[in-house]
């Protein structure tokens, strides 16, 4: 797994959704109830940019058709039968890092 610094130190108050680039991926960094989540920025339904959506409870809500995805698991709402990718987040002394597993990591069973 490779870790990428995506932000400097951030204020963890309030709710925010920021789109960050991690390698070739666009990822939404979401702060909800003082916890950071990283999820794919592309909605699997029709490709909307989830960073333009809302955060309600522990869900990110797509701005186009209001599909919802759990920030922790990436699982779509009831009846959607879809999901978004989730990524581990670490807050270190110098900023916020997101971990991305390579295809080889996934094949070896590392997430
Ligand atoms: S594009 Fe996201 S719900 Fe349709």
Measure the CA–CA gap between 67 and 80, rounded to whole angstroms: 8
Q: How far apart are the first and last CA of the chain?
A: 8
Mutate to test the pocket of ligand 1, among 39, 62, 82 (most ligand atoms within 8 A of CB): 62
Residue 24 has what pLDDT? 87
Residue 12 has what pLDDT? 75
Per residue in 52-72, pLDDT tens? Answer: 999 999 999 999 999 999 999
Selecting from 3.40.630.30, 2.40.40.20, 3.40.50.2020, 2.102.10.10, what CATH number does the domain 2-9+18-101 have? 2.102.10.10
Residue 23 has what pLDDT? 85
Measure the CA–CA gap between 82 and 96, rounded to whole angstroms: 28
Residue 111 has what pLDDT? 55
Residue 110 has what pLDDT? 61
Ligand 1 atom nearest to 65, measured from its CA = 3
Going from N- to C-terminal start, the domains of the chain cover 2-9+18-101
Which portions of the chain are predicted below pLDDT 70? 110-111
Question: Hey, what are 87's tokens?
Answer: 């990524």
Q: How many angstroms separate the alpha carbon of residue 45 from the centre of ligand 1? A: 5
């Amino acid at each position: 797994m490779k870790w990428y610094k995506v932000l400097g130190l951030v204020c963890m108050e309030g709710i925010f959704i920021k789109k960050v680039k991690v390698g070739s991926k666009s990822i939404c960094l979401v702060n909800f109830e003082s916890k950071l989540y990283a999820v794919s920025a592309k909605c699997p339904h029709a490709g909307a940019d989830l960073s333009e959506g809302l955060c309600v409870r522990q869900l990110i809500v797509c701005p186009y058709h209001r599909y919802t995805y759990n920030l922790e698991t990436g699982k779509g709402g009831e009846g959607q039968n879809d999901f978004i990718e989730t990524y581990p987040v670490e807050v270190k002394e110098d900023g916020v890092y997101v971990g991305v597993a390579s295809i080889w990591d996934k094949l070896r069973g590392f997430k």
